[in-house]
Structure 1
């Protein structure tokens, strides 16, 4: 849900995606690119972004797939397995947003993805790790379980899973964290005593704030 206390600079089309931008980068800090979950929109994470930004600019991106009463970044099959062909196509499209940001200067952004958006964030950083400078993955799931990731030497990533998540198996976050570790990424991972939804006033916010505070 959108919170009204956050300054916005308006919605714009960026590489074919609807994007709301808020805030200005302070002291050259990397902006955040926030990706909502299934059925959400570019406004779904505005409250969370406001809490964790810490002086960073935020870009809230809308997925391009109509889904339920909102949008998603890629499709699932009726049994909720990932539509890998659609994910690959949508990932290539989303990387266009990141390339656009790189073309206009500044530091590569930190990706902040929730659920469907977290899966897209993983797919994008695997496809083009140089286009982002880190990732916060909330209720994530590997887009390619059991596969070996390309080298991600020192790439910083925070994974926040949930012990009572009805949409994830308890092994999903640890398995993804291990894929990152084997690729050489700088991994921090926690399992929180919550469900699938964001604990915006609690540990999701605090842990993300603390993790971002230690990075440019």
Structure 2
């Protein structure tokens, strides 16, 4: 997978996995990583799927309707890529914290839904529930920040509430933070995620 790896100043810190939104690239969230933890490793990945020339992490059938088969396959692909990247770049595979926005947040949530040890924790900006009606792995000890919009036209507020419940029922500790900026990622939301990160 096309990606950028930046070695941090402190190898005891987590590696921040950056996952962009639809139409983004591996450059998009690099400023966010600096806000969250300037000393951590950064692994920023570009989605392998193209939708009318726009990079994404998995296919969709329509807005808000995921291609589940592709989602499952792409989640497996990303999880295996993380195994390889950890070995290649010599960072701790068990200490990865994802920071995803929109489509990137959805694939990060899908990692948690499908692979118990894929992520240590996650910051999910405007995610949806990746899949319903499945048993989640035991997520005890995982911390998740969900940034959501009360007036998000793409991701209804109920999606955020449902995702919080599903993750908590699997044992994760979840903070749900509300903004009023629609689907946009506002600086105040990044600040809230950064404060949350400092406390976990």
TM-score (norm 1): 0.84
Distance 1:23 1:205, change over 3 A: farther
Distance 1:105 1:80, change over 3 A: closer
- 1:23 CA displacement: 4.3
Structure 1 match to 2:193: 208
Counterpart-to-counterpart distance in 1, 2:85 and 2:188 = 30
Structure 2 match to 1:157: 144
Counterpart-to-counterpart distance in 1, 2:84 and 2:95 = 10
How many residues align structurally?
A: 197
Instruction: Tell me if structure 2 keeps the 8 A contact 1:40–1:69.
Output: no
What are structure 2's unaligned runs of at least 5 residues? Answer: none
Structure 1 match to 2:76: 92
Aligned: 1:115 with 2:115 = no
Task: Determine which of 164, 186, 196 is the counterpart of 1:177.
Answer: 164
SS in 2 for 1:110: strand
Aligned: 1:64 with 2:48 = yes
SS in 1 for 2:60: coil
Q: Which of structure 1's runs of 4+ aligned residues deviate more than 6 A?
A: none
SS in 2 for 1:58: strand
Counterpart-to-counterpart distance in 2, 1:212 and 1:115 = 19
Structure 1 match to 2:115: 128
Distance 1:193 1:78, change over 3 A: closer
Counterpart-to-counterpart distance in 2, 1:170 and 1:131 = 26
- 1:149 CA displacement: 2.3
Counterpart-to-counterpart distance in 1, 2:32 and 2:13 = 18
CA deviation vs aligned residue, 1:41-69 (integer Å, no higher than 9, x gap):
11121222222223111111000001244
Instruction: Tell me if structure 2 keeps the 8 A contact 1:42–1:61.
Output: yes
